[in-house]
Amino acid sequence: MEDNLLEQKLNKFIVLVSILIPVVVALLFSVRLKDFGYDVEPLSFLPPIYAAINGVTAIVLVGGVLAIKNGKRKLHERLMTTAIALSVAFLVMYVAYHMTSDSTKFGGEGTIRYVYFFILITHIALSIAVIPLVLITYVRALANKFDRHKKIAKITFPIWLYVAVTGVVVYLMISPYYV
């Protein structure tokens, strides 16, 4: 009974965090520190760093899956915790960049423009959808509910991996247009 109560509380927390993160990011995305009188240099060095973090996250995710498939549970746990930390670091840098810099417009034309926007839109939509999936998957592992953890992890992993990889792809496609 106590486990169910804790899980219900954690589920409420997961719902709250899953709503708050996209809302706060969207709000902060529209905030420019210079509009509030702060003389802050644009953090233009951040995009390649947070793109690299996305790449490292993808590698860590694959490593985590390989670790658990090889029976290395502790390594799997550390790698997945690292993937969460990397995703948080990405998010902080992404928001900081957009609070100090104007958005970069994609300059490609023709078919590549449609490809870019398809990748960007699916990346953004799935980056929002993966938040509760990651949190539920992680909480189930922490609660030692490995049957339920494994079931949702099969959904979470490919979506999270797609988000990490397409983050790099989006950066590579837009990087020629950074000022």
Domain borders along the chain are 44-177
Instruction: Give the pLDDT of the chain (179 residues) as one tens digit per residue.
Output: 566 777 778 889 999 999 999 999 989 878 888 878 778 888 999 999 999 999 999 999 999 999 999 999 999 999 999 999 999 999 999 999 999 988 899 999 999 999 999 999 999 999 999 999 999 999 999 889 999 999 999 999 999 999 999 999 999 999 999 86
pLDDT, position 9:
83
Cβ distance 59 to 168 under 8 Å? no
Tell me how crowded residue 142 is: count the other CB atoms within 10 A of its CB: 11
Reduced to 3 states (helix: H, G, I; strand: E, B; else coil), residue 107 is coil
How far CA 86 is from CA of 7, 59, 102, 140, 177, in Å, comes to 25, 11, 24, 20, 26
Level-2 CATH architecture, domain 44-177: Up-down Bundle (1.20)
pLDDT, position 125:
97
Q: How far is residue 102's CA from residue 77's CA, in Å, rounded to a whole number?
A: 38
